[in-house]
A and B are shown apart, each in its own frame.
Chain A
């Protein structure tokens, strides 16, 4: 297991170094449209190819699965979404603490305790009715951003899609911080307990269900972006980077996180 982490960290560090040195390469064009949400592209040609492959996989597999999921009765979908969100809140909690957001951490502890018990393993969400509202998800990429880490290089991963160097390091960090990952991946403990419910594949069911739930909630949005884009790759890059910036700032307003000066110059009247 430790060896696996070292391999992943080495790759992530290599990518970070590549991002730093990206300006010196001749064969990859660095794109910067002057917007603060634009990140350097280190492997744009490769990323565009990967993007096409992912898009094909989405059309062939993920979108049909999401549509099938959406055909399920509302209470089943809602309960499934709530249950995976409840498990996901443990990763959020770890990152709340690392970011020094103790009020949010307290809110998450209360939500998890109430929803896991009264809400029957998170299927229902009585915590919201009791005033403990969902305050959004956190991950280690966001924590790194909060600590001041730059996004680094933008690229596209197989299946996982758009990311940056910081967010890839965040992905590795998530495996250290997510209690669900540890419970399902600790084979010695599992052997001791003798409980197969804690086996590794359940972690991937949970992650997969979470992804399908997200995709199903956004079928129309994806279709609309696809239909109205003149460069879908660039659109999704922009949306991804804007979204990450919002999440790091814990804000839902573009006005709070984006520089408005480029609007001030526009005088059409």
Chain B
């Protein structure tokens, strides 16, 4: 009985660690993600390992569904339930591939988390700096953190030197759809091609 109780407590601890492993304070939340990413992005790790681990972090800390909705712009209102289902499966694969591919080339990045700016009850911007090297200049990075559930903040956008990745993605998606006379299935096939390559 006692043994079962310990196993039960242990399992609870593991699950609670998984769901609430990160701080609810946005600045601390980003600091923890950055520190975790730093450990993964060391030279000794293979690209495959980095991809898997970064994907795990993204699934835990990024509001992929929210970013997916945002990226569709007004077209999200025209999707049927089946299309939504298909889109979110595709978008998650696209997002993880794109996200990890952008980061795996970085080795031992040095990021300083500097300050926060609370925009409203739903959003806080965390400001950070990727320190420069001999080859690359210093880069300002802002993280748009969605705080609607204050216990579980989630990242919704990365703003690099004032350029929003989510906005760029939204305008890219709109361009694909509009270039095909509003046919959203063309966006789906383009995403499929991207995921498959």
CA distance A260 to B122 in the complex (A): 12
A263 in contact with B123 (CB, 8 Å): yes
Q: Does A188 contact B (CB under 8 A)?
A: no
CA distance A34 to B77 in the complex (A): 14
Of A8-16, A117-125, A239-247, the one contacting chain B is: A239-247
B175 in contact with A217 (CB, 8 Å): no
**Most-contacted residue by chain A among B125, B162, B191 (CB, 10 A):** B162
B164 in contact with A254 (CB, 8 Å): yes
Residue in B69, B117, B161, B175 whose beta carbon sits within 8 Å of that of A255 in the complex: B117
Q: Does B148 contact A (CB under 8 A)?
A: yes
Of B16-24, B39-47, B50-58, B166-174, the one contacting chain A is: B166-174
Bitwise, B173-197 to A at CB < 8 A (1) or not (0) is 1111011000000000011011000
Bitwise, A212-238 to B at CB < 8 A (1) or not (0) is 000001001000100111110111011
Known: A228-B98, A238-B167. A254 touches B142 (CB 8 A): yes
Q: How far is the CB of A258 from chain B (nearest CB, A)?
A: 7
A237 in contact with B63 (CB, 8 Å): no
CA distance A42 to B159 in the complex (A): 29
Q: How far is the CB of A43 from chain B (nearest CB, A)?
A: 15
CA distance A124 to B98 in the complex (A): 39
Write the residues of chain A forming the contact surface with B, with a CB cutoff of 8 angstroms.
29, 31, 33-35, 37-38, 70, 74, 217, 220, 224, 227-231, 233-235, 237-239, 242-243, 246, 251-255, 257-258, 260, 262-264, 266-269
CA distance A239 to B73 in the complex (A): 17
Residue in A37, A229, A255, A267 whose beta carbon sits within 8 Å of that of B172 in the complex: A229
Contacts of B148 in A (CB 8 A): 267, 269
B142 in contact with A253 (CB, 8 Å): yes
Bitwise, B64-77 to A at CB < 8 A (1) or not (0) is 01100110011000
Contacts of A34 in B (CB 8 A): 73-74, 174
A260 in contact with B119 (CB, 8 Å): yes
Q: How far is the CB of B196 from chain A (nearest CB, A)?
A: 12
Q: How far is the CB of A77 from chain B (nearest CB, A)?
A: 9
Residue in B73, B102, B135 whose beta carbon sits within 8 Å of that of A33 in the complex: B73
Contacts of A239 in B (CB 8 A): 163, 168
Q: Does B80 contact A (CB under 8 A)?
A: no
CA distance A35 to B74 in the complex (A): 10
Bitwise, B91-125 to A at CB < 8 A (1) or not (0) is 00000001001100100000000000101001101
Q: How far is the CB of A152 from chain B (nearest CB, A)?
A: 18
B140 in contact with A74 (CB, 8 Å): no
CA distance A202 to B24 in the complex (A): 57
Number of contacts between A and B (CB, 8 Å)? 120
B63 in contact with A268 (CB, 8 Å): yes
A242 in contact with B172 (CB, 8 Å): no
Residue in A29, A233, A243, A255 whose beta carbon sits within 8 Å of that of B119 in the complex: A255
Q: How far is the CB of B112 from chain A (nearest CB, A)?
A: 15
Q: Does B3 contact A (CB under 8 A)?
A: no
Q: Does B156 contact A (CB under 8 A)?
A: yes
Q: How far is the CB of B132 from chain A (nearest CB, A)?
A: 10
Q: Does B27 contact A (CB under 8 A)?
A: no
B159 in contact with A254 (CB, 8 Å): yes
Given contacts A238-B167, A238-B171, 18 further A-B contacts (CB under 8 A): A29-B178, A33-B171, A34-B73, A37-B171, A217-B136, A220-B136, A228-B102, A230-B176, A230-B194, A231-B175, A234-B174, A243-B162, A246-B161, A251-B162, A254-B159, A254-B167, A255-B125, A268-B63
- Nearest A residue (CB) for B125: A255
Complex A-B: 27 CB contacts under 8 Å: A31-B175, A31-B178, A33-B170, A34-B74, A35-B171, A38-B171, A224-B105, A229-B172, A230-B173, A231-B175, A231-B176, A234-B174, A235-B168, A235-B171, A237-B175, A238-B172, A239-B163, A246-B161, A251-B162, A252-B162, A257-B162, A263-B123, A263-B157, A266-B66, A268-B63, A268-B65, A268-B66
B161 in contact with A263 (CB, 8 Å): no
Q: Does B78 contact A (CB under 8 A)?
A: no
Q: How far is the CB of B20 from chain A (nearest CB, A)?
A: 15
